[in-house]
Amino acid sequence: MQIPGEKRSQEPDECGNRAGIFAEAVRDGQMDLAWSMLSKETRGMRVGVWATRNNIDMQDAYRAAYNPDHPQRASMLEDFRTTVLRLWPLEDLTGLSVAPTNYLDDGHAFAFLPFGNTGPDAIGASRVAERRLMPGLILPMLLEDGQWQIDLPGWRFLEVENKE
């Protein structure tokens, strides 16, 4: 798959590094960190999906999303992690590298995290040294309040059940 946008550098940057931190946080179960790295729209969408699926009042769901001490927060974050791991098997989140970011504009980008790039073509087993076709994660990123955030609003469509 061709990632849209253009590379502004041949080196990984802050945008790609944040995407890598997000993937590592999900892998390691650090869901408070992963949650904090989501765009506002993505967080809002996930809160709505979780509340609807579990028949939770939206006010309670909102409180769980923004209050680390809320009694339902752990359930909400576990639901988020389960959703992510349906897309990204846990074993794929080990040995990720960071490739140069593709920018659509100054506020939208795609970070690419290649899988298992630990061979001689990797720099320090964490950065991609040359352009080649490889499997990996593509994360849409949004510059929000001066920081690159993970922007996954398309995940709302994953919650539609199969009606066969």
CB 78 within 8 A of CB 31: yes
Is 23 part of any domain?
yes
Residue 1 lies in a domain: no
How confident is the model at residue 92, as a pLDDT? 77
pLDDT for res 103:
94
Answer whether 79's CB lies under 8 Å from 50's CB.
yes
Q: What is the Cα–Cα distance from 130 to 146, expressed in whole angstroms?
A: 30
110 falls within a domain:
yes
163 falls within a domain: no
- Answer yes or no: is 113 within a domain: yes
Torsion, Cα 1 109 87 18, to 10 degrees, reads 130
14 belongs to a structural domain: yes
pLDDT tier at 94, thresholds 50, 70, 90: confident
Flag whether 24 is in a domain. Answer: yes
Q: Total domain count for the chain?
A: 1
Residue 162 falls inside a structural domain: no
Q: What is the CATH number of the domain that holds 52?
A: 3.10.450
- Give every CB contact of residue 144 below 8 A, 6+ residues apart in sequence: 39, 40
Pairing of strands 122-123, 127-128: antiparallel
pLDDT in tens, 23-41: 999 999 999 999 999 999 9
* pLDDT tens per residue across span 142-156: 999 999 999 986 544
Domain carrying residue 97:
6-155
